[in-house]
Amino acid sequence: MKIAIFGATSYIAKDLIHSFSDNKEVSLDLFSRRPEAVRSWLEISLPDNKYRALSYSDFDNLVHYNAIINFVGVGNPTEAIEMGMAIFDITIQYDQKILEYLSHHPDAKYIFLSSGAVYGNDFLEPVREGTLASIDINNILPNDWYSKAKLYTEIGHRSRDKLNIVDIRIFNYFSSTMDLTASFFICDVLRSISKHEVLQTTKDNISRDYLHPGDLYQLVNCILSANKINLALDCYSRAPIDKLTLLEEMKKHFGLNYFITQSNSISPTLNYKRNYYSLNKIAEKIGYFPEKSSLECLYTETKKILNSNGNAMLAGQS
């Protein structure tokens, strides 16, 4: 099987590339704006690989791929806000490039990395199969363009129902390779552990669902093995986790010190997504059954981070 990866510099893409490296029947072409950076990463992380690191100008409609997986985008909420409308344009640009390819190769599969953000901003309750997306069309803010780009792209994919396109909506993803300077709550936790600082947080007991790299790999393989398919799938682990449980587990296993304020205000990092996860499990229909819960994901990946040389780097971050 021959697969093209768009956005190969993404840390989630790199995790998936690592997972594929054990499968000798899969050949990968890795596309990005910085192929030299991908080559350097391959030399260090996968020295025995035979993958090609290419620029987008090398992408050729005459080359046959069984599948294209699109990771183009940003993984840090702060960066997404700073980019504003540019993230919308970039998302559409590379999506159109792949759709043009599918017009010549209609049997190829296209997997698009979408987001739970397509549902909007109302997460007082977790997402279910009947949950509707909400858009404040008269008041689009800089931090809205990311979600609007994903939603617009998904709508375009559903309109092409004769093509094999699957949008996988990631709510939260955690691995030992993520950028720990990013503005996620779990990164705040890890920085506090590494620097032996006290984490201050509100008493709002939000819930999150952290997808493990192995379960993402399982879901991708389920899609690749499926017959004719065009739909969106919400990603989920074996079980979500609430903030207070997460804090206690991090204290017990990794020595986290934390202080809960009496404020009920959601902090900027936690934002307003109180229950940012999905109970929509239609991915079971294609054989997806996650192996790890959010807690198991956090435990295994945090252990890797704190036991690696990356911990020394983390400790030196400002």
- The answer to whether residue 88 is domain-embedded is yes
- The answer to whether residue 96 is domain-embedded is yes
User: How many CA atoms lie less than 13 Å away from 266 in the CB half-sphere?
Assistant: 15
- The answer to whether residue 304 is domain-embedded is no
Total number of domains constituting the chain: 1
Reference 88, options 150, 20, 130, 180; nearest CA is 150
Residue 312 CB partners (closer than 8 Å, separation 6+): none
Give 8-33 pLDDT, tens digit per residue. 999 999 999 999 999 999 999 999 99
53: alpha, beta or left, given left = phi > 0 and alpha = psi -120 to 50? beta
Q: What is the pTM of this model?
A: 0.92
Give the domain range for residue 282.
2-175+208-240+274-294
- The answer to whether residue 300 is domain-embedded is no
Two tokens, residue 144: 């809205």
- The answer to whether residue 6 is domain-embedded is yes
- The answer to whether residue 248 is domain-embedded is no
Give 146-193 pLDDT, tens digit per residue. 999 999 999 999 999 999 999 999 999 999 999 888 889 999 999 999
- The answer to whether residue 79 is domain-embedded is yes
Q: What's the CATH number where 224 sits?
A: 3.40.50.720
- The answer to whether residue 69 is domain-embedded is yes
Q: Are 206 and 269 in contact (CB under 8 A)?
A: no
